[in-house]
Amino acid sequence: MASLSTSLSIAVQSLNAASGSLQATNNNIANANTPGYTRKVAILNEGAPTTEGNLSVGSGVVLEGYQSVRDELVQTQIQQQTQAQSGANAQLASLDQIQPTFTTSTNDIGTQMSALFSSISSLSTNPTSPALRQAVLTAGQNLATAFNTASNSLTQQQTGLNTQVTQDVSQINQLTQQIAALNPQIAQLQATGQDGGTLQDQQNQLVLQLSALTNVAVTKTDNGETLTTGNGTPLVMGSQSFALQTTVGAGGMEHVLDQNGTDITSSLTTGDLGGTIQTRDQTIPGLLSQLDTLANQFGTAFNAAQASGFDQYGNPGQNFFTIPVTAPGSAATISMAISDPALIAVSSDGSTGSNGNLTNFSSVQTAALPSGQNPGDAYASLVYQVGSLTATANAESQATTASLTQLNDQLNSVSGVSIDQESANLITYQQAYEAAARVVTTVQALFSVTMTMGTAAAE
């Protein structure tokens, strides 16, 4: 009787093990397309052997629970590459909007600059022509407008990025609250020996979303995941989250502060927030500075050429362009200082038919500005820089995307669900269940025979 009882117990445990394995497999198949799902497996261990006389007999299989199949190293690498990719994509998206401003067209600075010198060349053929003089004024106005438009476009882009900073910080705070709320739930399950796989999957997805926003470091502790920014600013510790703040700093730009009010803006280098800040605080100001310098130096040189001659009234030439004394803001504010075609200082000696001073105007096109380049080359350098920045951001985006694809494939090979493999597992566990059920049926029949043996003998 003792041996039959043991056999029945072993068979029941085998039924439980096969049933648990089937349940895990069914759950895997159901979540094969669920983002962030990690494959679960049943944990089966050999039962402690029992001793019957001089014999040590196995006691079957024990279903200990369920476990998620994870690769924490690859998961960490995915988080890091996500940060880099999002930072590059943020810069690329901004540069894609900036680039058309400097693309050759009928209204860009380079084209309008060439048109101005072309109109001056035409005026040299007939310096008294009102139509040709008006064409020079129109070309000058178009060039000033081109500078204004380029500057305004960069400023508007910078303003949009400034708004994006506050939106990113708000999303970061929401995510850190959700991550912190999951920490104690996962810790409680793990403390009782259970697998917190479902909650851990949710938390991993939240951390991945957070990584897409900013550079974050993740550390595993007994209280769950501890999250900090790149400079060590805490975001999540146990069940507590620490909100970031924004405040308006110099120049009206939003700065990011930690929970103590310390400015951490410069330490946020990756993720959408890092890429946005870098473009807002470094790339665009650099382009604006070069644009302002070109507008100021070109306007100054053109005004100097104008001052070297005489207008049709016989007076020394007055400023052609209105520009600030210093470079900052020049591109946004440069404008025409004259509107009367007769005020163009074409004459070199004050006589009506003279066109001698047009040589000074034309020389501005080829003479080096204080920056060291002539106006055309200075603008070409600016266009090249925008193109180079865009190409660099695009290359980094493509490289990190390829790396992420490889890492995700690697992770899926470990943690992902293979329908083919799970289907094969179904057959295996089904056969194991059927075999265990047959043992139960057999033992029950033996019990029945054993229980009726005495009755049969009495009859």
Q: What is the mean pLDDT of residues 250-275?
A: 92
204: which residues sit within 8 A by CB, 6+ positions away?
36, 38, 75
pLDDT tens for each residue of 131-171:
999 999 999 999 999 999 999 999 999 999 999 999 999 99
Phi-psi region of 35 (alpha: psi -120 to 50; beta: other; left: phi over 0): beta
Split at pLDDT 50, 70, 90, the class of 458 is very low
What is the identity of the amino acid at 231? Answer: N
Q: How many Å apart are CA 348 and CA 370, to the nearest integer? A: 25
Residue 457 has pLDDT above 70, yes or no: no
- What is the pTM (predicted TM-score) of this model? 0.86
Contact status, residue 375 vs residue 298, Cβ threshold 8 Å: yes
336: which residues sit within 8 A by CB, 6+ positions away?
137, 140, 141, 144, 320, 321, 322
> What mean pLDDT is reported for the chain?
91
Q: Which residues pair with 55 in a beta bridge?
A: 52
37-51, 161-175, 305-319, 377-391: segment of lowest average pLDDT = 37-51
Exposed/middle/buried for 282, CB within 10 Å: 0-12, 13-18, 19+?
A: exposed
State how far the alpha carbon of 273 is from the alpha carbons of 163, 171, 233, 361, in Å. Answer: 11, 10, 15, 47
Q: How many Å apart are CA 361 and CA 442, to the nearest integer? A: 110
Picking from 407, 411, 410, the residue whose alpha carbon sits closest to that of residue 399 is: 407
Picking from 111, 242, 247, 248, the residue whose alpha carbon sits closest to that of residue 177 is: 242
Residue 52 has pLDDT above 90, yes or no: no
List helix spans (H) across 347-374. 358-366
Residue 193 has pLDDT above 80, yes or no: no
* pLDDT at position 66: 86
Scored b (16 or more CB within 10 A) or e, 412-435 reads eeebbbeeeebeebeeebeebbee
Half-sphere exposure of 252 (CA within 13 A, CB side): 8
Q: Which residues pair with 310 in a beta bridge?
A: 316, 347
Contact status, residue 415 vs residue 68, Cβ threshold 8 Å: yes
Residue 360 has pLDDT above 70, yes or no: yes
Half-sphere exposure of 288 (CA within 13 A, CB side): 22
* pLDDT at position 10: 85
437: which residues sit within 8 A by CB, 6+ positions away?
11, 15
Q: What is the mean pLDDT of residues 68-75?
A: 89
Split at pLDDT 50, 70, 90, the class of 12 is confident
List helix spans (H) across 308-374. 330-333, 358-366
Residue 2 has pLDDT above 70, yes or no: no
* pLDDT at position 173: 96
Split at pLDDT 50, 70, 90, the class of 454 is low
Tokens matching residue 164: 């994006």
Of residues 421 and 221, the one with the higher pLDDT is 421
Split at pLDDT 50, 70, 90, the class of 455 is low
pLDDT tens for each residue of 74-121:
999 999 999 999 999 999 999 999 998 887 677 899 999 999 999 999
Pairing of strands 224-229, 234-237: antiparallel
183: which residues sit within 8 A by CB, 6+ positions away?
203, 223, 224, 225, 236, 238, 239
Q: What is the mean pLDDT of residues 200-226?
A: 91
Q: Concatenated DSSP letters for 182-243?
A: HHHHHHHHHHTT---HHHHHHHHHHHHHHHTTS-EEEEEETTEEEEEETT--EEEETTEE--
* pLDDT at position 123: 95
Contact status, residue 407 vs residue 78, Cβ threshold 8 Å: yes
Q: How many Å apart are CA 195 and CA 205, to the nearest integer? A: 17
Of residues 57 and 329, the one with the higher pLDDT is 329
**How many other C-beta atoms are found inside a 10 Å radius of the C-beta of residue 22?**
18
Residue at token pair 């070309």: 139
